Amino acid sequence: MTDQSTVPLRLGTRRSKLAMAQSGLVARAVERITGRPVELVALTTHGDVSREHLASIGGTGVFVTELRDAMLAGEVDFAVHSLKDLPTQQPADLALAAVPVREDPRDALIARDGLTFEQLPDGARVGTGSPRRASQLNAWARSLGKRIETVPIRGNVDTRIGFVRDGELDAVVLAAAGLNRLGRGAEITDLLATDAVLPAPGQGALAVECPASRADLVAALAELDDPHTRAAVTAERTLLAELEAGCSAPVGALADLHADADDPATVTELRLRGVVGTTDGATLVQLSTTGPVPASHDDAVALGRELARELLAKGAAGLMGEREL
């Protein structure tokens, strides 16, 4: 009989440098928890091979479907995703076993000559593949009395930064979390304040998923779960789901945890902010709501639904381009 403690757990991951780095972090943590070796199984997803912009190919699920299929086929035991890539509807046959502690959720600018966003010249060309980023960056530029040209780009981190190094673009915007996980945080010229640019729902967080039928594995992976991070991203993703928007829609959301003023170690409140806008930045609807730290999944869901409904009441549906009023 095979000694299961020596049988490697197979971790499904995308092939990109960032995905491999993220999965490697989780693999080492799972090895410590289970005492079993973990081997990475690199898979190619539709989002990796398509050259279309994410808004054109739908966005939702394009980076996760093949990983999920591999789990259900028994080809891998579990998978690691960037949480912002997950569709908001969780399949019944797969368990979101863990959401580890979140990295920096902010967007980051990498610009020529070490420029910050406010220092970019009028007419600067800024690369991003995200309608959400384009919307808020254009709105921010308008508030500064200038304009920028947001240029749609695809590709891995090296490719995107290369557009700046080669002089084709003045700047690109990427997730700070990915740059940090790749050890490239020093290349950031400006961390974009969330007061100006809200991140994608779930940005900076990882999702560890496995078949729901593997109760032993679900329990083991659950040791990686951070309850505060899970509560925050649950509220953010519920807002996205309630808006009936995909992950390529111009929707930003961030849930912040607030500590007790007299006891900084005690988290007491969760503030959820959301924004929906036109991609040219001409119109933004931005609102926030605050509630007690969710005691349950349902509490986090209720907070997300509340803010989504307030955004819809302010006209958010007409700004997304993905649904009719």
Length, in residues, of the chain: 325
In 3-state terms the chain splits into helix, strand, coil percentages (rounded to 5) of: 35, 25, 40
CA–CA dist 298, 288 (Å, integer): 19
Residue of 106, 133, 181, 273 marked catalytic = 133
Quick check: is 132 catalytic? yes
Residue of 106, 132, 237, 273 marked catalytic = 132
Strand order in the sheet with 107-111: 148-151, 124-127, 171-175, 107-111, 190-191
Quick check: is 154 catalytic? yes
Quick check: is 247 catalytic? yes
Residue of 14, 68, 85, 210 marked catalytic = 85
Quick check: is 230 catalytic? no
Q: Widest CA span of the chain, in angstroms? A: 72
Question: Which residue type, as a one-letter code, is found at position 212?
Answer: A
Q: Give the chain's radius of gyration (CA, Å).
A: 20
Quick check: is 17 catalytic? no
CA–CA dist 263, 260 (Å, integer): 5
Quick check: is 10 catalytic? no
Quick check: is 133 catalytic? yes
Residue of 14, 68, 84, 230 marked catalytic = 84
Cβ-based neighbours of 221, under 8 Å, separated by 6 or more:
30, 33, 78, 97, 98, 208, 210
Residue of 104, 190, 230, 247 marked catalytic = 247
Phi and psi at 294, nearest 5°, equal: -55, 130
Q: What is the DSSP string of 205-273?
A: -EEEEEETT-HHHHHHHGGG--HHHHHHHHHHHHHHHHTT--TTSSEEEEEEEEEETTEEEEEEEEEEE
Residue of 154, 214, 305, 309 marked catalytic = 154
Cβ-based neighbours of 192, under 8 Å, separated by 6 or more:
106, 107, 108, 109, 117, 173
CA–CA dist 190, 146 (Å, integer): 18
Positions marked catalytic: 84-85, 132-133, 154, 160, 247
